[in-house]
């Protein structure tokens, strides 16, 4: 599946300024792995011990993946995966 992954402003220094990456993946985990293989420094910023860091939110089509199957949430062709800080609001 060809999907897009949106990178938050705080991490764009590690993608050469790119805010939107096009990758292949059938789950969120696969899509993120594809992102990490292109930009290795992102892995430790976004994940810890194979899981998402606790202050990172990931959305597929605007829905928090914790309402789905977490990192195993399935992706359809053209899906939009958005990574955002979890420390806003209230």
Interface residues with another protein (CB under 8 A) are 8-11, 13, 19, 45-46, 53-57, 59, 62, 64, 66-67, 82, 84-90
In terms of Cβ atoms closer than 10 Å to its own Cβ (0-12, 13-18, 19+), residue 6 is: middle
CB of 3 to another protein, least distance (A): 18
Nearest to another protein of 3, 11 (CB atom): 11
Contact 3, 24 (CB under 8 A): yes
Nearest to 31 by CA among 54, 1, 55: 1
* Residue 67 beta carbon to another protein: minimum distance, rounded to whole angstroms: 7
For residue 69, give every residue at least 6 positions away whose Cβ sits within 8 Å of its Cβ, in sequence order, or none: none
Q: CB of residue 13 vs another protein: minimum separation in angstroms?
A: 8
As a whole number of angstroms, the distance between CA 30 and CA 57 comes to: 17
* Minimum CB distance to another protein smaller for 23 or for 59: 59
Q: Which is nearer to another protein, 38 or 86 (CB)?
A: 86
């Amino acid at each position: 599946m060809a999907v897009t992954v949106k990178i938050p402003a705080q991490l764009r220094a590690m993608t050469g300024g790119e805010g939107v990456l096009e990758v292949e993946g059938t789950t969120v985990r696969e899509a993120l792995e594809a992102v990490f293989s292109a930009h290795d420094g992102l892995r430790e910023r976004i994940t810890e011990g194979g899981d998402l860091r606790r202050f990172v939110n990931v959305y597929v089509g605007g829905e928090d993946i914790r309402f789905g199957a977490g990192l195993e949430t399935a992706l359809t062709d053209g899906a939009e995966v958005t990574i955002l800080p979890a420390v806003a609001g209230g």
